[in-house]
Amino acid sequence: MNTIYLDNNATTRVAPEVLEEMLPYLVELYGNPSSMHTFGGQLHRKIEDAREKVAALINAEPDEIIFTSCGTESDNTALMSAVESRPRKRHIITSRVEHPAVLNFCQHLGRKGYRVTFLPVDRQGQLDMDTVLKMLDDDITVASIMYANNETGVIFPIERLCGMLKERGILFHTDAVQAAGKIPLDVKKVPVDMLTISGHKLHASKGVGVLFIRKGTRFHPYVIGGHQERGRRAGTENVASIIGLGKAAQLAQQHLHDEFSYLSGLRDRLENGLLSTCPDTRVNGDRHLRLPNTMNISFEYVEGEAILLRLNEYGICASSGSACTSGSLEPSHVLRAMGVPYTAVHGSIRFSLSRYTTEKDINFVLDVMPGIIRELRELSPFGRTAAEHGRDYASE
């Protein structure tokens, strides 16, 4: 059975060009880039080459790029550096819909005595800028607000937000893990102070992340030890993965515009198809300000896990925002923050596409999905339609 992989916001396939670039550094060229001999020295040059390519993807300078082990480490490092370099300030601003890499770290800082404001979002999953304005004060250590949401794909107005925060001299970090490689990012045009990227979300391997730190930003390293990354992140470099990430960044930059229209075309076809063939279905999140590859859709009166299991039988991989997803016992904090009705949260599915998704894949999902939903609703004690419940579903 073929796998139809529509879970690319969880992780992506390593691009063949990336693997090809990485392999020599796992086999013959296994030296340590810090070594004095030529064997190590040539790796150092390759790492700098990768740094240039990653910098180019976001229009940064190469020395503003630090390689880390993952997006989570970059997010934690940004927040920790901010609080350590501004010890007198005690207020942190973030949003309710951040990835746990930011959300849980902010909660951790909250337990250490910081005041944390979790900004609400509206029903479309968008930030309410008036609320943001009201929350700003002189005590803010850092604002950490994501570029695009991993569950709904909703893109936040980062440029506007950045203007508002910079005007007040507030340090700004953005988690761009889902945005990088999918939409244009330009840190000269949108002058964030720190920005996070993760390799495995853009067709590089797992085990490598990036933290962009604008020149002149006070910085405290989080991982302390050797002098790697000019003393900003200790630990022997994950050479092959860094080199692969350089290639992945270059590919993403070269194909950004074509992929945007390819992905949004396929995604919209899938979304419109499901909305028209499966009754009592809704899209979660702003359908316009959204990543091109992501859709989050709720099928009322069905459990997300049940849908995932049935899809899995057809070789289709997706993910759900209902209970027990990824080992969590809680239904999606993102959908709950958006005020999505409980039953719709439980029947929510995220499909996330990549450059390797084909029209045939989408057609197959469109073929099998109406049957799966019908069958599950017939089996479920809750499997009744909105009409039977006698309420206007669309108005919720």
DSSP string, 265-325: HHHHHHHHHHHHHSSSEEE-S-SSSB-TTEEEEEETTS-HHHHHHHHHHTTEE-EESSTTG
Single-letter amino acid, residue 135: M
Nearer to ligand PLP, 79 or 101 (CB): 101
Does position 319 interact with ligand PLP (CB under 6 A)? The reply is no
Does position 209 interact with ligand PLP (CB under 6 A)? The reply is yes
* Binding test (CB under 6 A) with ligand PLP, winner from 8, 178, 322, 357: 178
Does position 198 interact with ligand PLP (CB under 6 A)? The reply is yes
Minimum distance, C-beta of residue 45 to ligand PLP, in the bound complex (Å): 26
Does position 150 interact with ligand PLP (CB under 6 A)? The reply is yes
Minimum distance, C-beta of residue 188 to ligand PLP, in the bound complex (Å): 23
Helix, strand, coil in percent for the chain, rounding step 5: 45, 15, 40
Tokens representing 30 are 């296994």
Minimum distance, C-beta of residue 198 to ligand PLP, in the bound complex (Å): 3
Tokens representing 300 are 């009322």
Minimum distance, C-beta of residue 173 to ligand PLP, in the bound complex (Å): 12
Does position 175 interact with ligand PLP (CB under 6 A)? The reply is yes
Q: How many residues bind ligand PLP (CB under 6 A)?
A: 14
* Binding test (CB under 6 A) with ligand PLP, winner from 146, 171, 295, 372: 146
Ramachandran bin of 109, using left for φ above 0, alpha for ψ from -120 to 50, beta for the remaining angles: alpha
Cα gap 96→340, rounded to integer Å: 14
DSSP string, 74-111: HHHHHHHHHHHH-TT--EEEEETT--HHHHHHHHHHHH
Which of the stretches 71-79, 107-115, 129-137, 259-267 binds ligand PLP when contact is defined by CB under 6 A? 71-79
Residues that bind ligand PLP (CB under 6 A): 70-72, 75, 99, 101, 146, 150, 175, 177-178, 198, 200, 209
